[in-house]
Structure 1
Amino acid sequence: MAAETQRNKCAACFKQFNKLEHLVDHMRISYHSVHEPMCGICKKHCRSFESLREHLIGPLPKPECKDIFTIRGCKFCLAILDSPNARWFHQDRCQFSNVKTGLLGRLANLGIRDNLNIGNGGARGPLAVALACKMVGGGSDGSLDLCARVCIIDENENIMFHTYVKPTIPVTNYRYETTGIRPEYLRDAMPQKLVQKKIQDFLCNGEPMWKIRPRGGKARTLVGHGLDHDLDRLQIEYPAGMIRDTAKYPPLMKTSKLSNSLKYLTQAYLGYDIQNGIQDPYEDCVATMRLYMRMRSQMHHIENYPLASDPQNRNNFASWRQSELERMTPGQMLEISRSDYYCWCLDSRG
């Protein structure tokens, strides 16, 4: 029985099953793929980086993996280096400094900046931009979020757009302790309708909304954290396929599949603190852009059809193939398994 169970062991997450048909059922719904975070020691696939972190240094880590990770592992990107010395040099580069963030964030407060030019996507195609807002309160109890400040940066962390926004309804709570916004900042601020038009035109980059496509077009990739809320408050529509949200990206979510805060993600994966005291949207933009660039730079094996939803993969684990699948080894099943989410590493392949 032990040998049989071992034969029915998932090649990705190492779960064991009494019957091969149960392993097939597991593969049908697990969507294991080369895009999952993977332990550099035992090669176990994890659904998220939080799961991988628990596997390496959590309350109940795998002992042999923990021992090696403690000596040669980077606590930010969770990579395993060749030696303790290599780890030391790598981790020094892997940890971002917030000196630049704090400095330019303060400079952003000095006034508005508007570099939202159409058609400057660059030689390699449309670039990614990060957006963040700060909200004040409206309504009788001040609990209604109103966008009062917005910032957009490019991939090099340059401020392309920064302005205070005049809400369409009266502000009843400026939330000064976290926003730093005073009534006089909004008195002559840019009207929300104009902000909305400028940002939407810039993101579309000359393309009609109905024509925007994830690849091969001119529209820009939009990066942020909790973008559904920000775009809703700005009353901007943008195609989901062009959005990279660090709050909804599966590898960056909790093991419970809930979102992590941007503050936590920045501390855990970039190595510095944000959102202390008065918060600057530039600081949030930088954090989300750095997280996006880190996820985009992952080197994963190239697949012709990387998503389970691609037409060529839709029947890989179809029930009518059950007998054929049960004749496969766990490794062969992993070979045909595909991801159920779009991995940001695919953005680096044009």
Structure 2
Amino acid sequence: MVNRMESSETLRNKCAACFKQFNRMEHLVEHMRTSFHSVHEPICTVCKKHCRSFESLREHLIGPLPKLECKNIFNVRGCRFCLTILDSPNAHRIHQERCQLSNGLTARLANLGLRDNATVDNTYSRNPQIVALACKMVGGGTDGSLDYCGRVCVIDEHENIIFHAYVTPPVQVTNYRYETTGIRPEHLRDALPLRQVQRKIQDFLCNGEPNWRIRARGGNARILVGHGLDHDLDRLQVEYPPIMIRDTAKYPPLMKTSKLSNSLKYLTQAYLGYDIQTGVQDPYEDCVATMRLYMRMKSQVHRREEYPLASDPQNRNIFATAPWRQNELERMSPEELLAISRSDYYCWCLDRSA
């Protein structure tokens, strides 16, 4: 009888999201207060466990110590790119062929042609609202270790080149890093000055709006996608509001379980199924990879919530520590606690309703 009671109490104190068990209900409430579980977390479609990142979900399914039941099903019907589980082996085969995005960037780049005149071109996409940016850096300073932008590319969501330019850094280049950048002295001889490139990109991103007036919804400013954009924008001397930036290096579901960034090379191989940056690196290739990653994350279907973020004013008292609220929370079931919990990061699926 005692064992049965203990088992029932343990089940009541088990997190409905990550399945952690607690000795007391107050400990579960504290866990929910700090974990920010939500419908936007990657979820195992077999056991419904919530994971903090896709890397954690991958470990749960096919890592060194996976959950055996989930692993067995995933091995037969699971997609190793988007980590979903299909209804049948045949559905899995068809899905994975579509899910693995082929490269084909060399031929596409040749067909489009590079726009070395550095004009912003909307021929392929009228007034695009989502663009990706990538830079390749050359070295400055006595040892060539200081990064300066030597080449920049901007594409639209259909992977068309909108803007491309070689850039003259504000200091003397002491290392062209040709093995990875492909940039030679002759490329920068007649290149655009950094200030001119900065102004073109700044004006294009803001799209007629002053920086200080840009807001997350309802404006003209463009969503900017990239990898390590803080560094790229700093080298371009471009200021842009964080609410309009989608950085694959800082997006929690795409980060390591240790909460450190994954490289773009790894993310492309793991989640898109092809290799990049294998020799001389082209910024267009990086733009395409980040845009594809963004579109994959954006296309996820999660339950709609009126106020999806823990930081929304309407959610600030959900897990309040006041005694009366603590008592209410401790009377809730684990499922009820999960239902009121909200995410601590902006899920890119929310851009679909922006």
TM-score if structure 2 supplies the norm length?
Answer: 0.95
Q: Judging changes above 3 Å, is the alpha-carbon distance between structure 1 residues 295 and 324 closer, same or farther for their aligned structure 2 residues?
A: same
1:341 lines up with 2:345 in the alignment:
yes
* Per-residue deviation, 1:3: 2.1
- Which residue number in structure 2 is paired with residue 188 of structure 1? 190
2:210 to 208, 211, 216: 208
| CA-to-aligned-CA distance 1:21-61 (integer Å, 9 cap, x gap) | 00000000000000000001101000000000000000000
Alignment of 1:118-197 (within 5 A): 127-197=129-199
1:244 to 234, 242, 246: 246
> Residue 344 of structure 2: SS of its match in structure 1?
coil
**C-alpha distance in structure 1 between counterparts of 2:155 and 2:204, whole Å:** 12
> Residue 50 of structure 2: SS of its match in structure 1?
coil
1:329 lines up with 2:333 in the alignment:
yes
> Residue 279 of structure 2: SS of its match in structure 1?
coil
- 2:128–2:156 Cα contact (<8 Å) kept: no
- Which residue number in structure 2 is paired with residue 73 of structure 1? 78
1:13 lines up with 2:18 in the alignment:
yes
**C-alpha distance in structure 2 between counterparts of 1:102 and 1:38, whole Å:** 36
- 1:108–1:282 Cα contact (<8 Å) kept: no
**C-alpha distance in structure 2 between counterparts of 1:170 and 1:107, whole Å:** 34
* Per-residue deviation, 1:138: 0.1
> Residue 29 of structure 1: SS of its match in structure 2?
helix
* Per-residue deviation, 1:115: 4.9
* Per-residue deviation, 1:7: 1.0
**C-alpha distance in structure 2 between counterparts of 1:109 and 1:182, whole Å:** 19
**C-alpha distance in structure 2 between counterparts of 1:10 and 1:132, whole Å:** 41
**C-alpha distance in structure 2 between counterparts of 1:281 and 1:187, whole Å:** 19
| CA-to-aligned-CA distance 1:129-174 (integer Å, 9 cap, x gap) | 0000000000000000010000000000000001100001000000
Q: Judging changes above 3 Å, is the alpha-carbon distance between structure 1 residues 107 and 145 closer, same or farther for their aligned structure 2 residues?
A: farther
- 2:115–2:163 Cα contact (<8 Å) kept: no
Runs of 5+ consecutive residues of structure 2 not aligned to the other structure:
1-5
- 1:108–1:162 Cα contact (<8 Å) kept: no
* Letter in structure 2 aligned against 1:35: H
| CA-to-aligned-CA distance 1:62-91 (integer Å, 9 cap, x gap) | 000000000000000001100000000000
* Letter in structure 1 aligned against 2:330: E
Identical columns (%): 74
Runs of 5+ consecutive residues of structure 1 not aligned to the other structure:
none
- 1:121–1:127 Cα contact (<8 Å) kept: no
- 1:48–1:255 Cα contact (<8 Å) kept: yes
* Letter in structure 2 aligned against 1:245: D
* Letter in structure 2 aligned against 1:160: I
- Which residue number in structure 1 is paired with residue 39 of structure 2? 34
* Letter in structure 2 aligned against 1:199: I
1:264 lines up with 2:266 in the alignment:
yes
- Which residue number in structure 2 is paired with residue 56 of structure 1? 61
How many pairs are equivalent?
347
1:93 lines up with 2:95 in the alignment:
no
* Per-residue deviation, 1:227: 0.1
Alignment of 1:267-282 (within 5 A): 267-282=269-284
- 1:76–1:270 Cα contact (<8 Å) kept: yes
1:285 lines up with 2:293 in the alignment:
no
Q: Judging changes above 3 Å, is the alpha-carbon distance between structure 1 residues 50 and 113 closer, same or farther for their aligned structure 2 residues?
A: farther
| CA-to-aligned-CA distance 1:258-311 (integer Å, 9 cap, x gap) | 000000000000000000110000000000000000000000000000000001
- 2:181–2:280 Cα contact (<8 Å) kept: yes
> Residue 327 of structure 2: SS of its match in structure 1?
helix
Alignment of 1:305-324 (within 5 A): 305-320=307-322, 321-324=325-328
**C-alpha distance in structure 2 between counterparts of 1:117 and 1:92, whole Å:** 33
> Residue 186 of structure 2: SS of its match in structure 1?
helix
* Per-residue deviation, 1:224: 0.1
**C-alpha distance in structure 2 between counterparts of 1:111 and 1:228, whole Å:** 25
- Which residue number in structure 1 is paired with residue 51 of structure 2? 46
**C-alpha distance in structure 1 between counterparts of 2:48 and 2:318, whole Å:** 23
**C-alpha distance in structure 2 between counterparts of 1:201 and 1:27, whole Å:** 43
* Per-residue deviation, 1:102: 2.2
* Letter in structure 2 aligned against 1:249: Y
**C-alpha distance in structure 1 between counterparts of 2:117 and 2:329, whole Å:** 58
- 1:148–1:167 Cα contact (<8 Å) kept: yes
TM-score if structure 1 supplies the norm length?
Answer: 0.96
**C-alpha distance in structure 2 between counterparts of 1:74 and 1:291, whole Å:** 16
**C-alpha distance in structure 1 between counterparts of 2:117 and 2:79, whole Å:** 37
**C-alpha distance in structure 2 between counterparts of 1:2 and 1:188, whole Å:** 75
- 2:112–2:160 Cα contact (<8 Å) kept: no
- 2:225–2:245 Cα contact (<8 Å) kept: yes
> Residue 319 of structure 1: SS of its match in structure 2?
coil
1:302 lines up with 2:298 in the alignment:
no
**C-alpha distance in structure 2 between counterparts of 1:146 and 1:22, whole Å:** 50
- 1:113–1:160 Cα contact (<8 Å) kept: no
> Residue 209 of structure 2: SS of its match in structure 1?
coil
